[in-house]
Amino acid sequence: MRPMKLAGSELMFGNGSLEYIKSIECKKVAIVVGGSSMEKNGTLEKVEELFHETGAITKVIRGVEPDPSIETVLRGAKEMLEFCPDLIVGLGGGSAMDAAKAMWIFYEHPKLKGLQDILPPNTFPKLRKKARLCCIPSTSGTASEVSRSIVITENSTGLKYGIGNMEMMPDIAICDGDITVSMPAKITAETGMDALTHALEALVSNRANYLSDILAKAAIKDIFKFLPKAYKNGEDRQARELMLQASMVAGLAFTNVSLGIVHSMAHTLGSIYHISHGLADAIILPYVINYNKQSKVAKEIYKNISDELGIDDIELEVRRLNKELNIPDSLSKLIPDRDEYIKNLDTLAEFAKKDGCTKTNPVIPEIEGFKELFIKVYDGSKEN
């Protein structure tokens, strides 16, 4: 039995909820951002102004890359040690929020020197002696604002490591759909499919429970309804608001019951081929749904959610949605050299097998099973 934790101490959502910043008690705020999008669309300036209204001093830590590296994390932690914030804000997509969480660890514990220090079997360090964490997402997908997880890349190998611990659950999450309005259509599609994957994998997780099922089902229904609308019209504020909330709810589900092999495979492909996480999830998802139907329990769950959605088959509906979002139906569209891909099969399968998400999939493949799946996802096999 595992206790459920639904977000941190303060969870705000809805268009306009960014104003909640004015009620946060803090003196020095370190704001972690990625590229320039938060600056260009005025969100960073607005966030700083709201903190300044409270009398707080702000410092921006810039330059978090996609799939943040431990080198970037340590650089940011060093800046925090010089500034001494009592609040850390992750502002942006999943990479900015994950980096903020990781910087928080090394800021609180400067004796830790690298990624290996926070990986199992090491005891995860206690946080909040120096600062609290607030996350403000700009995309509707990762749900890092309500999750206990981060993905950090090791510079020397390029490998991505997923780390999960409830210590990293943000204290404050502010989910304001207005911030996501400027998100490009391609990013809207990919992050939205990441959120759908979170919900569908949580639904069939071997740790799923009554409460996680309620959350996952609600997210699935709203994503199918509102993701196409947000994709086609980024200015549709209702679609933006409800997609961000659906992403958040999917996060509340998966952070408690974990995920499955869609994520194991996507993490691996991200490490080796640097395919964006949401795009990899989207392509892999229907193949894994098909694979999971070997489990009578999972097959029944998929049938039930299909019935609730009023569709024939959730696998086919995911394929249809991918097509509507202009997402490729196989990896061959992204990785043209099949021979080179096949040479990497052993590595791909071994990494996916070791991924932490594998153990909660309803059907746990052996190495050969992973190889077969990686081939199907590459070639575009659609057998049922």
Predicted confidence (pLDDT) per residue in 320-373, tens digit: 999 999 999 999 999 999 999 999 999 999 999 999 999 999 999 999 999 999
Q: Is 150 in the same domain as 289?
A: no
pLDDT at 86 over 90: yes
Residues 204 and 319 in one domain: yes
Does some domain include residue 80? yes
Summarize pLDDT for 129-176 with one digit per residue, the tens: 999 999 999 999 999 999 999 999 998 888 888 898 999 999 999 999
**Does residue 189 sit in the same domain as residue 93?**
no
Contact in structure between 58 and 52 (CB atoms under 8 Å): yes
Task: Give the model confidence (pLDDT) of 314-329 as tens digits.
Answer: 999 999 999 999 999 9
Tell whether 140 and 196 lie within a shared domain: no
Residue 5 in domain:
no
pLDDT of residue 381: 67
Residue 4 lies in a domain: no
Per-residue pLDDT band at 384 (split at 50, 70, 90): very low
**Do 26 and 142 sit in the same domain of this protein?**
yes
| Confidence (pTM) | 0.94
- Do 136 and 221 fall within a single domain? no
- What pLDDT score was predicted for residue 236? 97
Q: Are residues 234 and 166 in the same domain?
A: no
Partners of 135 in beta bridges: 90, 173
Position 310 scores a pLDDT of: 97
User: Is 160 exposed, middle or buried (CB count within 10 Å of its CB: 0-12, 13-18, 19+)?
Assistant: buried
Q: Are both 152 and 188 inside the same structural domain? A: no
Beta pairing class for 28-32 and 57-61 = parallel
Per-residue pLDDT tens digits for 60-77: 999 999 989 999 999 999
The rounded mean pLDDT for the chain is 95
CATH no. for residue 31?
A: 3.40.50.1970
**Would you state the pLDDT for residue 324?**
98
The CB-side HSE value for 22 (13 A sphere, CA atoms) comes to 8
* Same-domain status, 208 and 343: yes
CATH number for the domain spanning 241: value is 1.20.1090.10
- Give 285-317 pLDDT, tens digit per residue: 999 999 999 999 999 999 999 999 999 999 999
In a domain, 121, yes or no: yes
Verify that 365 and 234 share a domain, yes or no.
yes
Residue 2 lies in a domain: no
Boundary (domain end) residue, out of 128, 147, 179: 179
Number of independent structural domains in the chain: 2
pLDDT reading at 19 higher than 70: yes
* Residue 122 lies in domain: 10-179
pLDDT tens profile 180-210: 999 999 999 999 999 999 999 999 999 999 9
- pLDDT score of 21: 98
Contact 253, 201 (CB under 8 A): no
Closest CA to 234 of 165, 163, 291, 183: 183
Q: Is the pLDDT of residue 126 over 80?
A: yes
Give yes or no: residues 14 and 41 share one domain: yes
Would strands 149-153 and 160-164 be described as parallel, antiparallel, or unpaired?
antiparallel
Choosing from 135, 158, 179, the residue where a domain stops is 179
What's the pLDDT score for residue 3? 83
Confidence of residue 382 (pLDDT cuts 50, 70, 90): low
The verdict on 200 and 330 lying in the same domain is yes
Tell me the three state secondary structure of residue 112: coil
> What's 33's DSSP letter?
-
Which of 162, 179, 196 is at the close of a domain? 179
Residue 86 lies in a domain: yes
